[in-house]
Structure 1
Amino acid sequence: MKIRQDRLAINPLQWVASADGWIDPSLAPSLDAQLAVIRDAGITALHSAVPGDMAPEAYAARLAEYGISPAPGYIPVRLTDDESERGTFRDTAARVAEQHAALGVPTVFLAMGMAKDAERVAQPAVGHLADQGRLERVRDLLAEIAGIVRAQGITPAFHPHVGTWAETEEETRFILDTVDASVLGFGPDMGHLAWAGADAAGLVRDYADRVAAVHIKDLDLDLAAEARKAGWDYRRTVLAGLWSEPGHGNADIEGFVGALPDDFDGWLIVEVDRGARPTPEESVRLCGEWAAKHA
C-alpha cells in the first residue's frame, strides 16, 4: 500500500474528543500548538477549518509557517423545517466553499450532521427508523447544498456518517444513484461505513468515478458488530474503545485504499475520532508513524 505524501492529511479530532464520548471543539489547544505537534509528527497537511477570526489567506500563511498545507474540510447540514435555520446552513456552505476556493483546496466533505439527542445517536449504525420519504428529503437537501458548493468551483463529496439519516450502505447508494455526479461527488469514511456494516471498499469500487477524497480510520470491527447487535448508543460504543490510531485496529485499510482507482489524486485524511492513547499528542504521533510507513 502506497499513498502520496502530498495527498495525505490529518483531521486531529483526538484533541476535541470529550469525556462523554462526543466532540467538544472548545477542548482544542491553540492552532499553533496543534500545528507544532502535527509538524513534529511528520504530517504535512491539515483538514481545513478556518477560525472565525482569520481570513483564509492568513490561515494558509499560518499553516505554511509550519510546513503544512490545507486539505479538504467539512460541511454538516441537518433536516429542518425552520427556513431560518436552513438559510444558516446555506450561508455556512457558501462561506466554507469560498474559503476552500481561497485556499486552493478543490474538495470539501458534505455530510448530514448529528445531535446528542438524535434518534440514530441513540440507536446508531443499523439504519434505525429508515423511511424512504425522509431519505428523499435528505437527498434533496444534500443536492441543494452541493449546488451552492459547486457554484464556488468546489467539489462537494458526500460523506455518510453513523448517527445521521445517511449512515448505511443502502442509504449511501440511494443518494449517489439519485443525485447526478456533476452535482455531488463521494467522500467515504471507511470507519463510519464499517461501523454500519457496509462494504466500504466495494462502495469505492462501484463509485470510483465519484470519489473525490476519503477519510482513513481504524477501529475494532468486532466491537462494532457487538454494539450493533446489543443496541449500544453512539457514545457508549465510542467509549468502549471503537476507534484507534491507524494500524492499531483491525480495519482493512489496505483493502480500502487499494480499491481506489490507480489514477486517484484526491486527498486521504487520517481521522481518529477518539484516540486510544493517553494523550492526543501521542495519538497524533502514531498517526504520523503510520503515514511515514505508507506515504
Structure 2
Amino acid sequence: MIKIANAPCSWGALEFDLEEKSEEIGFEQVLDEIKETGYIGTELGDWGYMPTDPGLLRKEIEKRGLELLGAFVPVDLADGDTHEAGVDTALKVAQLMYRAGYKNAFIVLADDNGSVPNRTQYAGRITPEMGLSEKQWKVYAAGAEKVAKVVKEKYGLRTVFHHHCAGYVETPQEIDTLMALTNPELLGLCLDMGHYAFGGGNPIDAIMKYSDRIWHVHFKDYDPEAARLSRQENGDYFDALKKGVFCELGKGMVDFNAIVKLLNDKGYGDWIVVEQDILPGMGEPKKCAQSNRDYIRTLGL
C-alpha cells in the first residue's frame, strides 16, 4: 500500500549552506504541520535539524503519529578523497535512525549538489561536456556503492540514490550511467519526478526503465515557464527555485495521473514523499502542503 509523506525541504529546510538559513522554520512546527495537513511520514532533514538523540527523535516523531522513512545524505562522490568522510556521515545518520527504531528507513544518497559552479549555474540545461569522464564515473559509482554496502552491513538499512539538479547526476543519460555502473541489489533509485523533468526527461520513461530499482519515490512538480524565465536571466539553480520551478503538484507539467497508474501497475507499494523544494522564507509552506495533499487524494492516494 502506497503511503504519503512530506519532508522538511517543503518548509525551506534545505541541506545547502545558504544565507537564508536563519529563516528556517523549526522542526517542531514542520512536524506539526506535516501531521495537520494529512501526511503520515517525514524524512529527517539536514543533520542537526531534528534531534540527534535517538530517544528524543523517536519521541518527537511518535507523539505526532508519524513515521520516519529516510534521510538525505549528500556526498562529493566525484572526489575519491571524500568517500571515507561520506561513509562516516552516512553511518552517523543510519545509526540515529536505527537506534530510534526506524529500521526500514532509507539512506537517500546524493551528490554534494550545488557545490560545483558550472553544474549549479546550468542546472536544467546540462550538456555532455559538463559531465564526468569515464575515470571519474568509476570513482563516483564506487563511492556510491561503498556507502550503500557499509550502511547495509552495519545497520541493515538500504540506500537509494537521489538524482538531483545542480549535481553530477541530473540528466536521464547520467542516471542511466550510474545505474549501469552500480549493483542493482545494493543501490536503489530514488525517483524524483520534478528533478527528472527539470533535468530534461519524462518520469514515466524512468518508471518503465527502472521499475524494479525504484525503491523510493519523491513527488515534485516542474514548471517549465519558471525554468524558462530563469534561463532568460541566466539564473542558476537557486534562482530557478526562487522563481518557483518546483510548483505545487498539479500545476506543472508532470503527469501524476499517469505516474500513479504506472506505479500501481508495477506493484510499487512503499512511500511517496512530497518535496516541494523552496528556499527558507519563501511562500506559505503549510498551505502548499495542504494543497499538495488534497491534489494527491484526487489521484486516489
How far the C-alpha of 1:46 sits from its partner, in A, is 0.8
Point out where structure 2 has 5 or more consecutive residues left out of the alignment: none
User: For the structure 1 residues 137 and 127, does the alpha-carbon distance in structure 2 shift closer, same or farther, using more than 3 Å as the test?
Assistant: farther
With over 3 angstroms needed to count, the CA separation of the structure-2 counterparts of 1:149 and 1:24, relative to structure 1, is farther
Q: SS where residue 202 of structure 1 aligns?
A: helix
> Is the deviation greater in 65-74 or in 114-123?
114-123
Q: Structure 1's 217 and 22: CA in aligned 2 closer, same or farther, altered over 3 A?
A: farther
1:239 partnered with 2:237: no
More deviation, 44-53/131-140: 44-53
TM-score (normalised: structure 1)? 0.86
Corresponding residue of 1:285:
290
Separation in structure 1 between the aligned mates of residue 53 and residue 109 of structure 2, nearest angstrom: 22
Aligned equivalent of 2:148, options 146, 149, 161: 146
Contact 1:125 1:162 in 2 (8 A): yes
Which position in structure 2 is the counterpart of 1:122?
121
Aligned equivalent of 1:99, options 76, 96, 99: 96
Q: How does 1:1-295 map to 2 (within 5 A)?
A: 4=2, 7-16=3-12, 25-49=21-45, 51=48, 53-79=51-77, 81=79, 83=81, 85-101=82-98, 102-115=101-114, 118-128=117-127, 129-133=130-134, 134-151=136-153, 152-224=155-227, 232-260=235-263, 261-274=265-278, 278-293=283-298, 294-295=300-301
TM-score (norm 2): 0.84
**Cα distance 1:215–1:40, how it changes in 2: closer, same or farther (>3 A)?**
same
Q: Deviation per CA, 1:97-140: give whole Å up to 9, x if none.
A: 22333313342211112235622001112334123332332222
| Cα distance change, pair 97–79 in 1 and its aligned pair in 2 (3 A) | same
Q: Deviations over 1:64-89 (max 9, x none)?
A: 11121112221111146584x44321
Please tell me the residue identity of whatever aligns with 2:150.
I
Once the two structures are overlaid, the 10-residue window that deviates more, 183-192 or 150-159, is 150-159
Deviation at 1:167, TM superposition (A): 0.7
2: CA distance, partners of 1:23 / 1:106: 30
* Contact 1:244–1:274 (Cα < 8 Å) also in 2: no
SS of structure 1 residue aligned to 2:109: strand
Q: Figure out how many residues of one structure are paired with residues of the other and give that number.
A: 289
Distance in structure 2 (CA, Å) of the matches to 1:79 and 1:281: 34
| 8 A Cα contact 1:43 1:291, kept in partner | no
Percent same amino acid at aligned positions?
A: 22
Q: Which moved more, 1:220-229 or 1:89-98?
A: 220-229
Which runs of 5 or more residues in structure 1 are unaligned? none
Q: RMSD between aligned alpha carbons?
A: 2.9
